[in-house]
Amino acid sequence: MKLYVKATSSYRSDLEEISIKESLKKQYKVDVRRKDDFIHAGLLGALRLRDKCEIQRDDALYLTSGFGNINILAKMNEYILEQGEYIKLFDFINMLGNTTSFYVASELGIKAKSIFQISDNFTYFHTLITIYASLQREKKEVVLGSLDIASLDNEIIKRVAGIEENQEVLSSVNYQKLSLDAENALASIEFDTNFYTLEQVEEVLLENRKRVYCSVRCEAFGCEKESFYFETEASYIINRAIERGESLLYIDFYDNRYKILRVESM
């Protein structure tokens, strides 16, 4: 399966010392009231993508995340279990995944379907597969946003993700405009539905001539890795490869299974 990337946008908390909320207010004139940091981050990435490409009202919107709006869940826990209070209305609304999709779609002027999709592992890969299947039927284009926000308590994320206690956790937002059409594309991304064993990945690497990157959980290979963690890292690796004009192979790992993604800059 192959999709073509027409435009990208990114934000990473260790590379930009900005207030997302203030950027939305001053640069994009967005009403930031009644929205939380997860929604703000999704809006920033979406509007940065809009700066780079034309978005049609009949484009579809897909959002995915490793853990969703985890900070709002922490607030719910504090309200109910620790303070014995009722949930605030807008906190309850913001807790719903499709709330973020609604705000992003509204700012982009998208009137087609808007989906918030999370898998318990390989969520970015699974969303790509869903998008590919959808585009086979509808022949439109898709805006894909991958949102990961550091928690108020990152130890929760580390335990769930199965990473080391000393691993740095970052906030990162990455968007791509995706299509089945190669015309004017910046790159192609190729993927499949397979789960690979260690031995199968080793066979792939024997034939591979591209640069190889691995997620932080891939301990079996000596390939290049980042020092940070966020679950949808593959989305950032794609955007960075396009920015650098690189072609590469990316390997992700979870629960003794591997997924492989190929990026070909054009």
* Three-state secondary structure of the chain: CEEEEEEEEEEECCCCCCCHHHHHHHHHCCCCCCCCHHHHHHHHHHHHHHHHCCCCCCCEEEEECCCCCHHHHHHHHHHHHHCCCCCCHHHHHHHCHHHHHHHHHHHHCCCCCEEEECCCCCHHHHHHHHHHHHHHHHCCCEEEEEEECCCCCHHHHHHHHCCCCCCEECCEEEEEEEECCCCCCCEEEECCCCCECHHHHHHHHHHCCCEEEECCCCCCCCCECCCEECCCHHHHHHHHHHHHCCCEEEEEEECCEEEEEEEEEC
Provide the percentage of residues in the chain whose pLDDT is more than 70.
85
pLDDT of 96 strictly over 70? no
What's the predicted TM-score (pTM) here?
0.91
What pLDDT, in 10s, does the model give residues 29-41?
A: 999 988 888 999 9
| Pairwise CA distance, residues 179 & 2, whole Å | 9
> What mean pLDDT is reported for the chain?
88
How far apart are alpha carbons 75 and 143 in whole angstroms?
A: 30
Is domain 2-187 classified as CATH 3.40.47.10? yes
Residue 79 has pLDDT above 60, yes or no: no
Distance CA 176, CA 141 (A): 10
Question: Residue ranges per domain, the chain?
Answer: 2-187, 189-265
- Answer yes or no: are the C-beta atoms of 247 and 241 closer than 8 Å: yes
Q: What is the pLDDT of residues 39-51, one digit of tens each?
A: 999 999 999 999 9
Higher pLDDT, 168 or 155: 168
Average pLDDT over residues 74-101: 63
Q: What is the pLDDT at residue 153?
A: 66
Identify the pLDDT of residue 86: 60
pLDDT confidence of residue 81: 56
Across 55-69, 221-235, 237-251, the highest mean pLDDT is recorded for 237-251
Per the model's pLDDT, the better-predicted residue between 52 and 89 turns out to be 52
State mean pLDDT over 92-107. Answer: 79
pLDDT at res. 58: 96
**Band of the pLDDT at 149, cuts 50, 70, 90?**
confident
pLDDT mean over 120-133: 95
Q: How confident is the model at residue 56 (pLDDT cuts 50, 70, 90)?
A: very high
Whole-number pLDDT of residue 72:
64
Q: What integer pLDDT is reported at residue 67 of this predicted model?
A: 77
Q: Does the pLDDT at position 164 exceed 80?
A: no
Residue 114 above 90 pLDDT? Answer: yes
